[in-house]
Amino acid sequence: NQVDLLKGSTIMATSNESSGKSLVDLGPGGGSGVERIKLESRHLRGRLAEDLKDSSTPTLSPGQEQLIKFHGIYQQEDRDARQARKAAGVAKEYNFMVRSRIPGGAVTPEQYLTQDDIAGRFANGTLRITTRQGFQLHGVLKGDLQPTIQSINEALLSTLAACGDVNRNVMACAAPVSSRLHSQVQEVAHKLAMHLAPKSGAYHEIWIDGESVATVETPQDESEPLYGDTYLPRKFKIGVAFPGDNCVDIYTQDVGLVAELDNEELVGFTVLIGGGMGMTHGKAETYPRLATPLCFATPEEVVEIVESIVTVQRDFGDRTNRKHARMKYLVEERGIAWFRAEVERRLGRFLCAARTIEWHGVDDHLGWHQQADGRLFLGLWVENGRIKDTPSIRLRAGLRRVVETFSPGIRLTGQQNILLTDIEPGDRAAIEAMLAEHGIQADPDASGNVGRHALSCPALPTCGLALSDAERALPDVVRQVEHDMAEIGLSGEKLSIRMTGCPNGCARPYMGDIGLVGKTRDVYNVYLGGDWANTRMNTLFAPSVRLEELAPTLKPLLVLWRDEREDDDETFGDFVHRVGPDYLRSAGAVSQSA
Ligand code: SF4
């Protein structure tokens, strides 16, 4: 019973003491290097303030590049320039990526314009929509970090906890289809984001005050009541899905909440745990995993239950090996029954059983749609999430003009697209005309049936972990596959391709019809067989395929699909999953390995 649950509590000594002293056991080796950096950081302060004042170097001092991630910033370099600069005997070209945390991807028109201003003033002139509904700015110099973060904060946005070993941006279905219910789902995302944000004053001191001296000590009365001194063992991701529409890739989240309605009333959430995409090539002990059901939570208890889940990972997650530190390994290795019991002990009550989830698919929300209040929203396709101007499509300029003129609400989606919301029906024609002036098509079909559903991460030249290109390579692959599909009579069929520059899986490549995962420069592992509701992972079909061989490798498989699918509704991923990779190979669809 409930009392026994409390009596039997075996909660580990944790770091949520008001003293702020960590009691987390970092293991015999004292934990990974990052654990030590967190512990000694005085709640994310470290030497960051000092480093920012040091104009003699474009970089941070050793270890601080780990700490600054908690502030939403990555130190990066232009990897394209690396060889030439080395040959010329000059240092690497360092700059920073700045990511804003935007729960549910919802920003005001003013906030959008601020991000756009900063992109032009301090970054590389582009805005990137992340696969978790945030904004990323690339190419910011160290000396410009402070004004960048201050501008973002003045617009009432934050970069705190957009990266780092904490709960990151909370995803939620972005579409305002049913005003009340969708905003309830969005509200839960906001509540969770606020509740799970670090409480340290370091962010304010370093970025907003700016005058705080670098030697500032941790204030005596400051604590991190949830995270303690060492925060979480690894990043933590939460998504909230609207019933039936898996547009937030719910099974890839550490915690996925699937809303349930009864007579158009929100009655609660089925809680899934232990999803995650990252893996390492050649290390079988690392793997992507789909989240599994834990319980059902009412709207009133959902924040408390999620907090308890976070504390289990905080206390039991692996702090000695960062490649084994995500919560998915804890769930997989200890089992869902153990995890449930641990959460129940912390809550002092039993959890309700998870309910059955039904999906109708994934809605990308592109094109014109009516909102419940009679107004309209327009979903615009953004190739690879990059808002930029090219000679033929001036997406950044066109969006800016529309936002300045019509002040629509802005929502970023998990497919890296943008929704313009709350549009008066009478403004539709003028908005379409304004977009067309800039070469932007409001019709989602213009993006092509493969391009529309493609996802990629930034990879080279900015990401320090990238083994190969993704954002720069995917458009040509998509165009070739679309061309091939037209040639073999499949131009009306949809296909999803997701490409990443390494196996960490930021664009969730293991969920697409086709996943292309960078292995070395211009060489990819090809995964096949995901489904359109994002409930099934694909599997490795061909290792080490050269970039130029990707489309030729896929073409015979597409021909087989055309000729042998059970009916017109059988998608490519479903076909591959049904017949299996061995059949594909035996049928002559042999890959071209590098
Ligand atoms: Fe970088 Fe890899 Fe993530 Fe792509 S998937 S952004 S290459 S870490």
pLDDT at residue 193, as a whole number: 97
Per the model's pLDDT, the better-predicted residue between 2 and 517 turns out to be 517
Whether ligand 1 lies within 6 angstroms of the CB of 465 is answered as yes
Q: Taking 50 as the threshold, does the pLDDT of residue 17 lie above it? A: no
The residue from 132, 463, 498, 508 that is catalytic is 463
Task: Provide mean pLDDT across the span 272-293.
Answer: 96
Strands of the 94-100 sheet, one edge to the other? 73-77, 94-100, 135-140, 127-129, 386-387
Question: pLDDT exceeding 90 applies to what percent of the chain?
Answer: 84
The answer to whether 272 and 251 have CB atoms below 8 angstroms apart is yes
Contact yes or no for 72/145 (Cβ under 8 A): no
The number of beta carbons lying within 10 Å of the beta carbon of residue 144 is 17
pLDDT band at residue 10 using 50, 70 and 90 as cut-offs: very low
pTM equals: 0.92
Ligand 1 touching residue 517 (CB < 6 A): no
**pLDDT confidence tier of residue 182, bands split at 50, 70 and 90:** confident
Highest average pLDDT, of 11-25, 78-92, 514-528, comes from 514-528
Whether 143 and 210 have beta carbons less than 8 Å apart is answered as no
Active site residue 168: yes
Q: What is the pLDDT of residue 7?
A: 36
> Which bin fits 297, alpha (ψ -120 to 50), beta or left (φ > 0)?
beta
- Measured from the Cα of 459, ligand 1's closest atom is 7
- Largest Cα separation within the chain, whole Å, is 71
The SS3 of residue 493 is: coil
> With contact defined as beta carbons under 8 Å apart, do 136 and 128 qualify?
yes
Contact 72, 101 (CB under 8 A): yes
- Assess whether 578 carries a catalytic annotation: no
With a 6 Å cutoff on the Cβ, whether 79 touches ligand 1 is: no
User: How far, in Å, is the centroid of ligand 1 from the Cα of 458?
Assistant: 7
pLDDT digits (tens, 9 = 90+) for 303-350: 999 999 999 999 999 999 999 999 999 999 999 999 999 999 999 999
Q: Which of 277, 504, 527 for mutating ligand 1's site (highest number of atoms within 8 Å of CB)?
A: 504
